[in-house]
Structure 1
Amino acid sequence: MQVKALNIPAVTIELPEQPDMATYESATGAALNALKAQHFDRAAFGDIFLEDLRAYREQQMAGYGFKTIFPLWQKDSKLLLQEFISRGFQAIVVCVDANKLDASFAGRLIDESFIADLPEGVDPCGENGEYHTFCFDGPIFKTPIPFRIGERIYRAYDAPGDAGKAEFWFCDILAP
């Protein structure tokens, strides 16, 4: 629905619920090869300051002949989020890291009160995986995406290596 509302072409990569890196990289590689055959040669990412993630993306993309673009790199996270809001974009939080934010953040609208309520140490843009969002409206959308909020669900997964459990609160987003 986002792609339709934005009127842009898109390619999706289907992955299992908990893919290992080999599965992820294989699926991504197949998609990149298909895009390369269509004469695409650049990939843009919204990373802001995670050096290791940027290096990984640059290495992965270079292996397929893609140049990387990072338009938000080293920008101030709080200012980026305030600009997102002031330009009229709307997003709702659909997932929070339960070790960083409590369940009440799942299902919240991204607005100035959201920013004010973030605990110290949580990046305003969720750059460290503290939260994830669903953007449903903004000045580049032809129409807002209709939805209703479902229930909040807690899930725990085995984290990679010896990291223990990864714990999350999810907020279901449902068709109206």
Structure 2
Amino acid sequence: MHGVRRELLAQQAESLGLALDEVRIPPQCVNPIYEARMEEALRAHYENGVRRVAFGDIFLEDLREYREKNLTRIGMTAIFPIWKRDTRELTRELVARGYRAITVCVDGKVLDQSFAGRMLDETFFHDLPAYADPCGENGEFHTFVFDGPGFRRPVPFSVGEVVARDGFYFCDLIPKEKGEDK
């Protein structure tokens, strides 16, 4: 969905000191396949003692219920640390704390192509139309966080081309070697 290269996801996880557990799903994946693959991956974690899974959802009740239902089937609990937080306040915190993120996918029905490949900063949030949620909670945009608290170092990349596909604008992020400037 987001179109971020796997190499960048691996570098992001490494910079954060986290293990990356990839769950492969086919393009245009239907829910039964998605749910079966996620359940298989989560059961492996359950067998290793993991009982809770954190999500970054903020206010979509149906999505929260869906996640809770799927986790309950395998004996796990969902936690939502930023649930019902004001999204404008969350964006201010994001910038103030020094996180750096770039838009990698933009819903063309909601935002124009100029929002793809932009840094999430005060200018971005100023330019965002009033009808769009500043955290993209309704799917207006998706991001790649590449630096900030918890990162050992920024994830190096260069911004590639923006392409239109299936009603979305995707910005390609091209991995750079460690040590190259961002």
TM-score band w.r.t. shorter chain: over 0.9
Q: 1:38 aligns with which of 27, 30, 48?
A: 48
Q: 1:75 aligns with which of 65, 81, 85?
A: 85
- Percent identity over the alignment is 48
Q: Distance in 1 between matches of 2:35 and 2:67?
A: 11
3-state SS of paired residue (1:36):
helix
Q: How far 1:51 sits from its partner (Å)?
A: 0.4
Residue matched to 1:4: 14
TM-score by length of 2: 0.90
Please report the RMSD computed on the Cα atoms of aligned residues, expressed in angstroms: 0.7
Residue matched to 1:122: 132
Q: Distance in 1 between matches of 2:149 and 2:136?
A: 22
* Aligned positions, number: 166
3-state SS of paired residue (1:174):
strand
Gaps of 5+ in 2: 1-10, 177-182
Q: Distance in 1 between matches of 2:142 and 2:52?
A: 25
Residue matched to 2:74: 64
Structure of greater relative contact order (alpha carbons < 8 Å, 6+ residues apart): 2
Residue matched to 2:180: none
Residue matched to 1:169: 169
Q: Distance in 2 between matches of 1:22 and 1:4?
A: 31
Q: Distance in 2 between matches of 1:152 and 1:10?
A: 27
Q: How far 1:38 sits from its partner (Å)?
A: 0.5
Gaps of 5+ in 1: 157-166
Q: How far 1:5 sits from its partner (Å)?
A: 0.3
3-state SS of paired residue (2:105):
strand
Residue matched to 1:159: none
Q: How far 1:9 sits from its partner (Å)?
A: 2.2
Q: Distance in 2 between matches of 1:21 and 1:171?
A: 26
